[in-house]
Amino acid sequence: MAKLPGYVGPAAFGLKMGVVVPGSDLLGMIIEVVEKCHRDQLLDDGDVLCVTESVLARAQNNYVTVEEIAAEIRRHWQIGPEARIGVLFPIASRNRFAVILEAIAAAVPRGEVVVQFSWPRDEVGNQIISETFASRLGKVYTDPITPAELEGYSFRHPITDVDYIQFYREIIENQGAKAAIHLSNDPLYILSLNPQGVIVADIHAREKTKSALTGKVPLLTLSQLCSSPHRQAWSEWGLLGSNMSAGGRLKLPPRNAAAFARDVQREVAARTGKKVEVIVYGDGAYKDPSTQIYELADPQPVFGATQGFANAMRVGVKYKYLADLYHQEGRSPAEIEQLLQQKVTVSSPSQVEAEGTTPRRLADVIASLADLVSGSADAGTPLILVKGFFA
């Protein structure tokens, strides 16, 4: 790394790019920035280029409307506007789920939408109700809480100040449908509400939830909606990882992200001679210790990656343990440093040298780092250069 001194370890840099719009030559824009890095001697073999999923999806013009989603729901179940639809375990989010719920309600404008939240928090840690309120009702984790028991109370999210129970009720009613909001952690509870079909809306536990209901009621998962390659806009992830956009639209996750990552890798090698790895990343996988919100609202941190990430784990040695051990053995600081360099990789994460360094998928670690650096691309840096992990 000619521009960085040798004492600098792993590092990440946000790379500024122009505005990406539908139809933009995103590959060309990335290569233009990377060639600048190469000229400035900031690009090395083993570096990782991280492309935020939002700019790839935008360049692909991967948007769907509320009306398109509603029509797909009706078509899938062959239901009319008077049907009753259940929505199971949605997250509480204006950005991530509100437009999806609007589309569900638009599918049955003279029917009913029954929403079942988990409680006290949703899947990613957003507070639905307080534990104190549940205790006042005499409720334990396995008990349901009915709309009648919620009547007259307001439950504002401690960070967004939104009452999501009321907010989701209004979204449904604004489409003309009746709304019923129930709280229960048992996926089978929704069967007692007699829906004609259930949309499994959770993200990370979706397969477990689906399995509990399979054969008992017609089901749809978010990953099934808008997932057909025969559509103009689609993603293999469906509505999982989608985001609110302007004009009553949703931006889907990117499609074929791994193929795009390989294209970037190949073009960088052709233009610069450098072998880099590439990921297309979404939300980082971390939990906010202050709010208890688990930030991963995408189905996973990485939507696509190059082959170098296959089975790659972030495994290190317990430097503190080894430094103490070698010091007790009477080693000098110079000897300790040399021994630590020899122990940088261990043959097994179960060895005592790796104690306290839980193995993690390297792609997830780097995606989380890139997400923190880019700040959802608010800083105009949807491309992140990460150094020092594959060196």
pTM for the structure as a whole: 0.87
pLDDT at 280: 97
ω into 158 cis (within 30 of 0) = no
* DSSP letters spanning 80-116: -TT-EEEEES----TTTTHHHHHHHHHH-TTSEEEEE
According to CATH, the topology of domain 11-61+254-312+361-387 is 60s Ribosomal Protein L30; Chain: A; (3.30.1330)
Q: How far apart are alpha carbons 340 and 198 in whole angstroms? A: 55
pLDDT at 316: 59
**Reduced to 3 DSSP states, what percent helix, strand and coil does the chain have, rounded to the nearest 5?**
35, 15, 50
Q: How far apart are alpha carbons 113 and 362 in whole angstroms? A: 41
| Full 3-state SS string of 32-67 | HHHHHHHHCCCCCCCCEEEEEHHHHHHHCCCEEEHH
Contact indicator for 88, 94 with CB cutoff of 8 Å: no
Q: How far apart are alpha carbons 160 and 163 in whole angstroms? A: 9
Strands 243-244 and 249-251: antiparallel
Model confidence over 167-217: pLDDT tens digits? 999 999 999 999 999 999 999 999 999 999 999 999 999 999 999 999 999
pLDDT at 294: 83
Q: Where are the chain's structural domains?
A: 11-61+254-312+361-387, 63-251, 316-358
The b/e string for 197-212 (b: 16+ C-beta within 10 A; e otherwise) is: bbbbbbbbebeebbee
Domain 63-251, second-level architecture: 3-Layer(aba) Sandwich (3.40)
Residues in the chain: 391
- Which two tokens mark 44? 């090395």
* DSSP letters spanning 254-297: PSSHHHHHHHHHHHHHHHH----EEEEE-S---B-TTT--B---
Sign, CA torsion 99/121/144/187: positive
The burial class, CB within 10 Å (0-12 / 13-18 / 19+), for 39 is exposed
Helix axes 319-328, 333-342, angle to 10 degrees: 130
Contact indicator for 75, 44 with CB cutoff of 8 Å: no
CA angle (47, 296, 241) in 5-degree steps: 90
Q: How far apart are alpha carbons 91 and 149 in whole angstroms? A: 21
pLDDT at 354: 46
pLDDT at 319: 65
pLDDT at 54: 94
383, containing H or E segment:
strand 383-387
* Residue stretches of the chain with pLDDT short of 70: 1-2, 315-319, 340-358, 376-379, 391
* Helix ranges (DSSP H) in 151-283: 164-174, 206-213, 257-272
pLDDT at 317: 60
Q: What secondary structure letter does DSSP report for 5?
A: -
pLDDT at 355: 47
- What Rg, from alpha-carbon coordinates, does the chain have? 24
